[in-house]
Amino acid sequence: MADTRSSSQRAPTFPPVWQALRVTTASSGRLALLDSASLYFRAFYGLPDTLVAPDGMQVNAIRGFADTIARIIIERKPTRLVCCMDADWRPAFRVEALPSYKAHRVAEEAPTGPDVEEVPDALTPQVPVILELLDAVGLATAEAEGYEADDVIGTLATREKVDPVEVITGDRDLFQLVRTEPTAVDVVYVGRGWAKAETLGPQELAARYALPVENAGSAYADMSMLRGDPSDGLPGVAGIGEKGAAKLITEFGTLAALLAAAEAGDSRVPPRARASLAAAADYLAVAPKVVRVAADAEIDQDHEDVIPAEPRDRARVLELKERYNLGAPVDRLLGALDRH
């Protein structure tokens, strides 16, 4: 799951207005789903800390995130856009299944509610300003209680029946959503920066990891369970790296089929891999619950997802621009709306 925010940075709880949001009967463009924390974390680390407000508060994440949304609107040309947020960066259902999940990033355990995540002090006060700016502009923000932004993205992508979807993220976990049917989902991966953004559909994802194209997204999820991910506290299976995992999933189609074959002594599973899979049985039994993004989260969303032609509250946007020295990035965002 994407590395995101502490509980103190969580987006506010919105009224459950999803059912009242835009419904169309004909395709009108594309739906962009933003892994917001992934994007503003990268802005925070990618832009100089000398970008500050008049009172000295660091604003590099705010400026970078505003710039990113402007570029998405101008270059990707979606007609709809949702900034997806974490209501819980370390959901209880994942921790109960695998206690090591993100455990190394816990700054403080909370007796109730989400644990506090280690987050740079200079980023923490910028997140509420990002949310305030999005609200003033009128761009939709969504979260789901007890779930990560990845789960919000997975649910909205699964629900979409009209427009093709682009998931914009700097985190590879969301590669599992790539598909062609019933509604196409591509991932725009910005892990190496916007200038080197890669658009991954099933063909590109399959080619990148030597996976079967017909189920590239779900095969990626299965491969990642075997490979593991130390940054998320996922141990993986000892002795099976990324290439070996991809080869085994391609050979058997799914993790479940691979495990069944290994248990049956299938000669296509090398003895060493068979022993490693058996040793990791407890982990593999819970890995799907931890790794796979949810598709049924109850989402709270604050605005319609149609990108507005003009800001919801231009005066407020300009006041935020002045108060926090947001300058050109806010101008570019307003210009993107005008050109949209």
User: What is the distance between the alpha carbons of residues 280 and 276, in angstroms, rounded to a whole number?
Assistant: 6
| Cis peptide bond upstream of 311, omega within 30 | no
The predicted structure's pLDDT at residue 120: 85
Residues in the chain with pLDDT values less than 70: 1-28, 107-118
**SS3 sequence, the chain?**
CCCCCCHHHCCCCCCECHHHCCCCCCCCCCEEEEEHHHHHHHHHHHCCCCCECCCCCECHHHHHHHHHHHHHHHHHCCCEEEEECCCCCCCHHHHHHCCCCCHHHEEECCCCCCCEECCCCCCCCHHHHHHHHHHHHCCEEEECCCCCHHHHHHHHHHHCCCCCEEEEECCHHHHHHCECCCCCEEEEECCCCHHHCEEECHHHHHHHHCCCHHHHHHHHHHHHHHHCEHHHCECCCCCCCHHHHHHHHHHHCCHHHHHHHHHCCCCCCCHHHHHHHHHCHHHHHHHHHHHCCCCCCCCEECCCCECCCCCCCHHHHHHHHHHHCCHHHHHHHHHHHHHC
Interval 189-227: pLDDT, tens: 999 888 899 999 999 999 999 999 999 999 999 999 999
The predicted structure's pLDDT at residue 141: 97
- Six-digit token pair at 173? 């976990």
The predicted structure's pLDDT at residue 107: 59
Beta pairing class for 116-117 and 140-143: unpaired
The predicted structure's pLDDT at residue 14: 37
- Six-digit token pair at 248? 């085994």
The predicted structure's pLDDT at residue 326: 98
Span between the terminal Cα atoms of the chain, in Å: 31
Instruction: Say if residues 157 and 167 touch (Cβ distance below 8 Å).
Output: yes
User: What is the distance between the alpha carbons of residues 202 and 180, in angstroms, rounded to a whole number?
Assistant: 7
253: left (phi over 0), alpha (psi -120 to 50) or beta: left
